[in-house]
């Protein structure tokens, strides 16, 4: 026997926010692939060696693109969990925060792939952390609300 799952009103914002992260990851993979081709770094080498990056701007840009993509992947478990928990009580907040984070990752990647890693922060990194903290606090508060309502 199946049981229906009732989603809170506004959950479409959560779906849109989460799907936007998948699009960003796909776009970043294309950026990495383009830079891999230009740099001549062959699979399975994950990054250009220091000597390669020092000798070639294309290899440096490949490393920057690869790192931006990897950093996004490293954040994904945190983003998914906190978005879904926040969405249980505050779906619009969760959806917007997740979507804003995804947008910030585009800016982060564009900044990083200039070849000057400092620009990752000035072009999206710091903005994205606002979303991360919003989702952390939102999910913590939601968990608190759920605990209080279950007693």
Q: What is the pLDDT of residues 76-118, one digit of tens each?
A: 999 999 999 999 999 999 999 999 999 999 999 999 999 998 8
Domain that holds residue 135: 11-149
Indicate the DSSP class of residue 24: H
pLDDT at 72: 97
Q: Do the beta carbons of residue 130 and residue 103 sit within 8 Å?
A: no
Whether 75 maps to a domain, the answer reads yes
Let me know if residue 52 belongs to a domain.
yes
Helix axes 57-87, 126-149, angle to 10 degrees: 20
pLDDT of residue 6: 87
pLDDT at 117: 87
At residue 126, the pLDDT reads 86
The 3-state DSSP class for residue 56 equals coil
- What's the Cα-to-Cα distance from 20 to each of 47, 55, 81, 96, 134, rounded to whole Å? 26, 36, 15, 11, 18
The predicted pLDDT at position 15 comes to 98
100, 93, 105: which is closest to 140 by C-alpha? 93
In this prediction, residue 106 carries a pLDDT of 97
Helix (H, G, I), strand (E, B), or coil: what is residue 54?
A: helix
SS3 74: helix
16 φ, ψ (degrees, to nearest 5): -65, -40
Which residues are CB-contacts of 3 (< 8 A; sequence separation ≥ 6)? Answer: none
CATH number, domain with residue 132: 1.20.120.550
Provide the whole-model pTM. 0.92
pLDDT score, position 42? 95
Residue 5 domain flag: no
- What's the number of domains the chain is made of? 1
Residue 3 lies in a domain: no
**pLDDT at residue number 53:** 95
Query: Which stretches in the chain have pLDDT values below 70?
Result: 1
Distance CA 27, CA 65 (A): 11
Count other C-beta atoms under 10 Å from residue 145's C-beta.
13
């Amino acid at each position: 026997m199946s049981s229906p799952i009732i989603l809170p009103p506004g959950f479409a914002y959560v779906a849109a926010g989460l799907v936007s992260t998948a699009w960003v990851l796909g776009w970043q993979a294309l950026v990495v692939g383009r830079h891999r081709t230009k740099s001549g770094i062959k699979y399975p080498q994950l990054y250009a060696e220091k000597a390669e990056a020092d000798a070639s701007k294309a290899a440096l840009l490949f490393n920057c693109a690869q790192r931006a993509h990897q950093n996004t992947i490293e954040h994904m478990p945190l983003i998914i969990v906190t978005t879904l928990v926040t969405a249980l009580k505050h779906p619009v907040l969760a959806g917007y925060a997740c979507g804003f984070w995804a947008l910030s990752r585009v800016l982060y990647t564009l900044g990083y792939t200039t070849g000057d890693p400092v620009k990752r922060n000035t072009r999206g990194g710091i903005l994205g952390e606002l979303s991360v903290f919003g989702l952390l606090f939102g999910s913590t508060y939601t968990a608190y609300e759920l605990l209080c309502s279950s007693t």
